[in-house]
Amino acid sequence: MSRWSVILNEAVGHLDRPRGTLGAGAVTTYKAWEVTGIREFRPVDRELVDPEPHQVRLNVEYCGVCHSDVLAVEGLRADSGQPVVPGHEIIGVIDAVGPGVAAWRVGERVGVGFLAGHCGECDPCRRGDFVSCRNQQQTGTSTDGGYAEVAYARTSGLVRVPADLSPVDAAPLLCAGLTTFTALQRVGARAGALVAVQGIGGLGHLAVQYARSLGYRVAAIARGDEKQALAQQLGAHHYINSNGQDVAEALQDLGGASAILATAASGSSMSPLVAGLAPRGRLMVLGAAPDPIEAQTGELIFGNRTIQGHLTGTPVDNEDNLAFSAANGIQPRIEAFPLSEAPKAYEHMLSGRARFRAVLDAA
């Protein structure tokens, strides 16, 4: 029996026990997955404590499994020997509020994304750049996340969830959705302009839907013809097979892209995209790749083209994102796993087999 089989068999016995009702006198612990080192998952019972000032406690319903979870699970954080609960696409119901909390109430459904709440006091915060807050923790990486029955969050990091949006669908939208939605809002392209999405995966399949709903002419870029039907179903007007076509030439034949959202985690696959941009076009880099992007200076200078990285958005941006998604039928393709199978869900995501977002069901 493999090490993963042993872990999962032990975990099912640990995490499938009745969870009880939060707030009942007999409930003093909750179940969670901790990670240390490189991919060392461990099921644990955590002590249930009161939230700190300006913090709430959540009864977790769903948590998305995102590629950025590798920061915690693969030992890429500053102190990988310190246990942390991964997961930063959290949907839950407020179970308790800490001192000083006035705008949030018990029983309210909320979300928590990758950024765990800005401080409001550092220089970037004072200038309104909350994404760049110097004192902001990263949910599931530098502070505990949502691979658990319970999570704690700063109120400055909370996102209200529309009642008409399914909570299981809302979870992946808190990170993958927000990242692509806000990137499209920052490209500055006119309605009807050509916008390309490179990679039809966890980010890309949402980006195509957002771009179409925002009124752009959408070109989907992927390897092979296997995803062509799906891309068109999601709203793409054009499909470019990067294995069989020169992507830049194909984009220029369509008039040049005002923006390209690069979601595939490969710098070498992003590099040829620059030549497919229209004048003043923008390559928005969303996929974190281990290899560099290379660009000819002439391609940038003659055409005033831009390569720009993009991280995420603020909690209020996320509320706009969820409202837009609910109004326009933006829906992630998900595969649900019980909380007891969190290591399996993570492995499934990391393998690239997920179609397209894995979500843990903690309810």
Band of pLDDT at residue 59, cut at 50, 70 and 90: very high
**Rounded distance, CA 59 to CA 239, Å?**
42
**Rounded distance, CA 347 to CA 29, Å?**
27
Cβ-count burial of 61 within 10 angstroms (0-12 exposed, 13-18 middle, 19+ buried)?
Answer: buried
Which of 265, 282, 309 is the endpoint of a domain? 309
Residue ranges making up the domain that contains 80: 3-173+313-361
Q: Are 191 and 300 part of one and the same domain?
A: yes
Q: Are 134 and 246 part of one and the same domain?
A: no
The CATH number covering residue 200 comes to: 3.40.50.720
In a domain, 87, yes or no: yes
Question: What is the pTM for the complete model shown?
Answer: 0.91
Number of domains comprising the chain: 2
Would you tell me how many other CB atoms lie within 10 Å of the CB of residue 107? 8
The CATH number covering residue 122 comes to: 3.90.180.10
DSSP 8-state class, residue 213: H
Q: Are 168 and 33 part of one and the same domain?
A: yes
pLDDT attached to residue 363: 86
Q: Are 228 and 304 part of one and the same domain?
A: yes
In a domain, 116, yes or no: yes
Q: Are 206 and 335 part of one and the same domain?
A: no
In a domain, 151, yes or no: yes
pLDDT digits (tens, 9 = 90+) for 28-41: 999 999 999 999 99
Q: Which helix (H) or strand (E) holds 151?
A: strand 150-154
Q: Are 255 and 220 part of one and the same domain?
A: yes
Buried b (16+ CB within 10 A) or exposed e, 176-208: bbbbbbbbbeebebeeebbbbbbbbbbbbbbbb
pLDDT of residue 22 exceeding 60, the answer is no
In a domain, 181, yes or no: no
Alpha-helical regions (H) of the chain: 3-15, 70-73, 123-126, 167-172, 178-185, 204-213, 228-234, 247-253, 267-270, 297-301, 315-328, 342-351
Q: Are 286 and 273 part of one and the same domain?
A: yes
DSSP-based helix, strand, coil % in the chain, nearest 5 = 30, 25, 40
Q: Are 248 and 347 part of one and the same domain?
A: no
Band of pLDDT at residue 27, cut at 50, 70 and 90: confident
